[in-house]
Amino acid sequence: MAIPNLLGLGTTTSGPPNQLGTHPIKIMAIAGARPNFMKLAPLFRCFRARLPLHELILVHTGQHYDENLSGQFLSGLKLPRPAYNLAVGSASHAQQTGEIMKRFEPVVIKEQPNAVLVVGDVNSTAACALVAVKLGVPVIHVEAGLRSFDRTMPEEINRVVTDSISDLLLVSEEAGIENLRREGISDRRVQFVGNLMVDSLLFHLEEARRAPLARNLGVVDGQFGLVTLHRPANVDNPDKLALLLRALNRIAEDIPLYFPVHPRTKDKLVGLPLKSRITLLESLGYVEFLSMMIRSAVTLTDSGGIQEETTALGIPCLTLRDNTERPITVSLGTNRLAGTTLDTITACWQEFKRDPKQGRRPPLWDGHTAERCCEAIARHFQIA
């Protein structure tokens, strides 16, 4: 499929772009969970360098509030201190979404932004987009168009809802363009810009290579596996989690595994059997985690972002899910879908040992996505 010309696509839902000329504009950027911070960091750097007359304001919803998932990232990723922290904390999906909307609405009314920029597919993404559009504020969705086609995933609902109400949809992979077309969204609202996660990864790569964590743990490069688990479908069901751990125990017979434990997963592991060759770690900051990933032989994960990062780095990835909203990591990258049963995971592991997958980096995953995002935003608002 041909890559659409970035400058050849239009920019508005209907009518001409906003006639703001060179007047300064204000955009509120929403971060609620770990991947949001990683994707916003290069965008903030680019705004400062390329659009210095205009204001990008960070709003932290507090959806993730653990220090290792929020505060540490703000300093490590060189993000500004949030202008607002909504401090919503953890709750059910409905309660959390509703609380974010309740707390975000007065912020939008007070600030009167020209746009609200949301990232990814977490509850904060959909909640803040809904508030904005109901107040008549344009919505920019970064990482638009991704689909797992599994409506049992709360993230899938967030993606579909957010895309349907966004004015400017910034797409990270070509499949997203086709998904949006099938849903009736005009190409005029869509820009293919690439992957902000890769911008962050490449920006911090040398720092990660110097990080001492792997050396302190005594790991040997290329001779261990890295594990993450956090999706509710995998960790909230005790039977499913126990099954996944059985699979990991079996893999650990072949290779030692290091498992930085997400806060939502930590308590659920209590009492479950783990082999001694699986080492549990506290949740890691971004650079620390990246320092382990670049040295690993394989990553086993249920994270969408890690599927992207391993593809960009050329590291084999076994995704402990039955589907992925990032199909390009499978078709072009190093990712394999391992499923969630003992048989499918074991079979995928054996296949990996026989034939480690050689992938390549997808189009526009080149470290310059933030620049294309800034260009798309500038064109949309006709600013310089």
SS (H, E, C) 343-356: HHHHHHHHHHHHCC
The C-alpha atoms of residue 246 and residue 74 are separated, in whole angstroms, by: 36
Of 124, 100, 108, whose CA–CA distance to 37 is shortest?
124
Say whether pLDDT at 15 is over 70.
Answer: no
What's domain 6-194+365-381's architecture? 3-Layer(aba) Sandwich (3.40)
The C-alpha atoms of residue 227 and residue 278 are separated, in whole angstroms, by: 9
Residue 30 structure tokens: 């929403």
Residues 6+ apart with CB under 8 A from 225: 251, 255, 256, 257, 258, 296, 297, 298, 299, 300
Mean local confidence (pLDDT), 52-57: 95
Query: Radius of gyration of the chain from Cα atoms?
Result: 20
Which pLDDT tens digit goes with each residue over 305-320? 999 999 999 999 999 9
Q: Contact at 8 Å (CB) between 301 and 282?
A: no
How high is the pLDDT of residue 286? 87
Question: What fold, for 205-354?
Answer: Rossmann fold (3.40.50)
**φ and ψ at 77, to 5 degrees?**
-95, 0
Which pLDDT tens digit goes with each residue over 158-214? 999 999 999 999 999 999 999 999 999 999 999 999 999 999 999 999 999 999 999
Helix and strand totals (H; E) in the chain: 17, 13
The length of the chain in residues reads 384
- Going by their DSSP bridges, the two strands 225-227 and 139-144 should be labelled as unpaired
The C-alpha atoms of residue 6 and residue 188 are separated, in whole angstroms, by: 11
Of 10, 14, 30, 187, whose CA–CA distance to 108 is shortest?
30
Residues 6+ apart with CB under 8 A from 169: 141, 144, 145, 163, 180, 185, 189, 190, 191
The C-alpha atoms of residue 307 and residue 329 are separated, in whole angstroms, by: 6
Mean local confidence (pLDDT), 138-143: 98
How high is the pLDDT of residue 66? 60
Return the SS3 of 233. helix
Lowest mean pLDDT among 84-93, 158-167, 337-346: 84-93
Mean local confidence (pLDDT), 2-27: 49
- Quote the Cα angle for 318-183-56, to 5°: 75
Q: Do domains 6-194+365-381 and 205-354 have the same CATH topology?
A: yes
The C-alpha atoms of residue 85 and residue 68 are separated, in whole angstroms, by: 16
Burial 176-189 (b: 16+ CB within 10 A, else e): bbebbeeeebeeeb
Which pLDDT tens digit goes with each residue over 353-371? 999 888 999 999 999 999 9
Say whether pLDDT at 4 is over 50.
Answer: no
Say whether pLDDT at 3 is over 70.
Answer: no
Q: Contact at 8 Å (CB) between 235 and 267?
A: no
Q: Is 230 a catalytic residue?
A: yes
142 Cα distance to chain centroid: 10
Q: Contact at 8 Å (CB) between 257 and 226?
A: yes
The alpha carbon torsion through 149, 152, 155, 157 (nearest 10 deg) reads 80
In DSSP terms, 318 is beta-bridged to 300, 336
Any idea where the domains of the chain sit in the sequence?
Answer: 6-194+365-381, 205-354
Catalytic residue among 60, 230, 368, 380: 230
Q: What's the number of CA atoms in the CB half-sphere (13 Å) around residue 263? A: 13
